[in-house]
Amino acid sequence: MYDGPIIDAHTHPMLGLDDQVGGQPHPPEAYRNLVAGSAIIRAAALTIAPAGDIGRTRARNDAVLELADNSAGLFFPVCSVHPGDGTTALAELDRIAAAGCAWLKLHPNTQDFDVADPAVTEVVARAAGLGLPVLFDAWAPWDADQPGKFVKLAMAVPQARLILAHAHGPSFPQLLVYDALARYPWWPRQVWIDISVAAATFANGPFAEQFAWVLRKVGTDRVVFGSDYPLDDPMHAIRAVNQLGFSEAELSGVLHDNAAALLEK
C-alpha cells in the first residue's frame, strides 16, 4: 500500500445546474468532505465546453478558474473548448492559457466529435504550443477505431502531451501499441493513461492482472490516477489502484509523481 501524497487527475465538481453528472448534486464542497483527512493534496476540476455557445464556454471556464483560485491549492483548473468552434475555440484557448488554465479537457462522446477531425488536430496543436496537456475521454464503445485515431493524433502533433482517460475501457489491450512505438527513437512518449473508472472496473476481477501488465508495458511512468468523481468515490478509486499489484515505487508515480510532472509548465 502507498501512503504518500495523491493527485486526483479527474474530477467533475458541479459548478452550475447544467454541470450535474448522475442523480445527485456534487458541488466542490462535497468532494472536499469526501477527501478531508486523506492523502489527496490536489485534484483536477474539469469542465466540458458545449458546441456553438462561446458565452457558456467562457462562463464554464471562468467558473473552473475561479474555483481553483479560491481552493487554497486543492483544485487545479482543467478548462475546455469545442473543436467545432474553429477560430473562436482557438481564441478561447489563448485566453484560458493566459488566465492560468492547467490542462485542456476534450470529450469526443459528450462533445460529439471525431478524434480524426482536422479541427481536433488544430486545437491540440494550439494547446501544445501554449504548454497545455490535453485530457481526452478515451472510452468510446461505438467507435472501434478511436484508439488508432489517438495514435495518429499523437504522431501528427508530437509535441502535444495527451492524457487518455479511462484507458480505452474494455479495449485496454490496444494500449500495447505505445509499448511497440517506444521501440522507435523518433517516438517521444508523450501519451499518458488516466486510469479513472478503469482501475475500479478491473480491480479484484479476472482482468486485473492483465490490466496491470498492459500498463507496465506502456510504462507506469505514463499512468495517472483519477477518480472520475462523482461517478466514483475517490477513496474507493484509490483502494482499487492499490489492489492492482503495483510496487510502492510504481504507486508513487501513478498516484502522484506523474501527474505532478504534467502540472509543471
Would you say residue 49 lies in a domain?
yes
DSSP 145-205: THHHHHHHHHHHSTT--EEEEGGGGGGGGGGGHHHHHTTSTT----EEEE-TTHHHHHTTS
pLDDT tens, the chain, 265 aa long: 789 999 999 999 999 878 888 778 899 999 999 999 999 999 999 999 999 999 999 999 999 999 999 999 999 999 999 999 999 999 999 999 999 999 999 999 999 999 999 999 999 999 999 999 999 999 999 999 999 999 999 999 999 999 999 999 999 999 999 999 999 999 999 999 999 999 999 999 999 999 999 999 999 999 999 999 999 999 999 999 999 999 999 999 999 999 999 999 6
Domains of the chain: total: 1
Would you say residue 163 lies in a domain?
yes
Select from 182, 173, 150 the least CA-distant residue to 163. Answer: 150
Would you say residue 28 lies in a domain?
yes
The boundaries of the domain holding residue 178 are 6-262
Would you say residue 170 lies in a domain?
yes
Residue type at position 265: K
> Residue 230 and residue 116: Cα distance in Å, rounded?
29
Cross-strand bridge partners of residue 40: 6
Would you say residue 179 lies in a domain?
yes
> Residue 35 and residue 40: Cα distance in Å, rounded?
7
Q: What CATH number does the domain containing 161 carry?
A: 3.20.20.140
Would you say residue 1 lies in a domain?
no
Would you say residue 19 lies in a domain?
yes
Would you say residue 82 lies in a domain?
yes
> Residue 157 and residue 105: Cα distance in Å, rounded?
17
pTM of structure = 0.97
